[in-house]
Structure 1
């Protein structure tokens, strides 16, 4: 029985529909007010310095070859595909937006991700005999073989993130994007941002499955955007070390008027804020953006700062060449294993 079944709802008590804001067109609508263009290594260096100057802790970097893509975990995307009948389509999504269809059921919830993770672990341990591994180790192995998990690949090295943003020559006609995450909001949290495979996080079941309600999750900074938990996994293969890999792990954003009021639409009247449908289209974790050199200091809105840099399409070939000749970053350096060689040869003989 649903919560609303059997209840008489007046007009003012109708459940709120998840619709996009009038200003929303794509995830870029949320990014563009804060993005900075990177046309050279010097531009990246200058932006990186501005960001690092206002943060004492390390920063996490991710590059994506298409600037229009949101920042989502692979498991979030897979479950979203299911809710769109097998494959998410921006065109279908736009049609639903224009028809003002409630989009809440089109986005996976935290419970959806946890149910999927339980099934992933069950199959991994029964069919694939990974019963001796912790939940985190299983997820890490699946992630690095392209399977769906809530882990999101980042790097401590901004140059490696830049390489991932510009390395795919088939995407040279479209701008690329870098994301940079600070680790904590302005209110210090007693828990460390880095996750370790100890008795707390290295158990048979995922730690976050213990947090069954939104209140539990808020109390543990899960899905609130205030703590960027990251995990430096064991070196299962050489590419993890070569890429200076780190996984970001967080819960699906918890919705609420108080949180949404922090996401003002730049250039809009004061009371115009991005809605949950907008925010989830941009990321499967909260992304509170600031311009390089600025950080969140609002203790009542304890968001860890996020930054984004946009790379014009025309600059990709030049940046690719600089990364290889100046720093030695090419496919062999980033994927220094036989599987990387296989992938490179497959692309070589298919083109």
Structure 2
């Protein structure tokens, strides 16, 4: 089983900008018109899973899908090293909250459980069709791209009274895997229901515009615990297959590091609070869509990566190295 097998049954496919625009209207009909909020994630290759950098690297190291306990423990080691390096302090802000530490690490390429998103659908789409280079060569020209629209209505940290304090927490507000177990860290324990919620819904954070890139990209992050098969109240948390039955937990974790549930855009059924909608963009359409976005909105590397790090990555990307 490959991640694309997980996403294909509910995806919608587009071959041009007009079809893409029509599908976005479907999302808007389920979203803002119903008071729902979406986070948008564009990926250059439709075959990729929806996973964080920490999850991917741990999977390689462990040679299996990470569980939440793996993520939590390794994340703790990374944060401890951030403190040893003295990077948890800011000259202007004082001590950084955990979320701000993780966001800064994410910005500079360190592995975190955060997944980059935009709260602007067109920017999310641009990231699916942008040009990436390797030693002067353009990558993923012949691969289809994918855009995820993740429903974060009930779990946007900034907009939810239950989670808003997370922005200022100096310790991680999420809890280690199975915190009621004696084998887990007692200093940051938590109740079972809180842990089960963390592992059965996607959370989103729209940070303050602490740098130009976050502002330009209308950027934010989606995060959460490794998916579990049951949630608060021991209610089942399952992923139905087309034709009957359910995806196994290992198959789900092969495909996503957060607990999101693929839904069909054109379905008339109830919208689930952890729904994710998937749009596949054919490889042949990527260039025309990219050029249309540049014409309409001015989106290009220069405007969406407006810093020296962005220039170093993309300003001279077409020049080959020795």
Q: Distance in 2 between matches of 1:194 and 1:43?
A: 33
Task: Give the secondary-structure state (helix, strand or coil) at the position aligned to 1:208.
Answer: coil
C-alpha displacement of 1:325: 1.9
Q: Matches of 2:205 and 2:269 in 1, distance apart?
A: 23
User: Higher strand fraction: Structure 1 or Structure 2?
Assistant: 2
Q: Structure 1 residues 258 and 124 mapped into 2: Cα distance closer, same or farther (>3 Å)?
A: same
- Structure 1 position 331, deviation (Å): 0.7
Residue 287 (structure 1) shift: 2.5
Secondary structure at the aligned position of 1:61 is classed as: strand
- The structural deviation recorded for 1:199 is 4.3
The Cα shift of 1:213 comes to 4.5
TM-superposed deviation, 1:43: 1.9
TM-score by length of 1: 0.76
Q: Give the alignment partner of residue 44 of structure 2, picking from 65, 78, 82.
A: 65
SS in 2 for 1:70: coil
* 1:195–1:231 Cα contact (<8 Å) kept: yes
Identify the residue that residue 208 of structure 1 maps to in structure 2: 174
Q: Which runs of 5+ in 2 are unaligned?
A: 90-94, 132-137, 182-189
Give the one of 268, 272, 291 matched to 1:321.
Answer: 291
- 1:223: how far off? 1.0
For 1:210 and 1:161, how far apart are their aligned partners in 2?
31
Superposed CA RMSD: 2.4
Q: Go from structure 1 to structure 2 and tell me whether the alpha carbon gap of 1:201 and 1:34 turns closer, same or farther (over 3 Å shift).
A: same
2:30 corresponds to 1:54: yes
Please tell me whether the aligned partners of residues 229 and 250 of structure 1 are also in contact (alpha carbons under 8 angstroms).
yes
Q: How many residues align?
A: 291
Per the alignment, in what secondary structure is the counterpart of residue 174 of structure 2? helix
Q: Aligned partners of 2:192, 2:129: CA distance in 1, in Å?
A: 37
Q: State the match for 1:330 in structure 2.
A: 300
The counterpart of 1:127, out of the listed 65, 69, 85, is 85
Taking the aligned partners of 2:17 and 2:252, their CA distance within structure 1 comes to: 30
Kept in 2: contact 1:59–1:156 (CA 8 A)? yes
Aligned counterparts, 1:73-84, within 5 A: 73-84=52-63
The alpha carbon displacement at 1:333 in A equals 0.8
| Pair 1:137 & 2:100 matched | yes
Residue 323 of structure 1, CA deviation: 1.4
SS in 2 for 1:247: strand
Q: Deviations over 1:129-177 (max 9, x none)?
A: 4242221111010011111111111111111111111112411111010
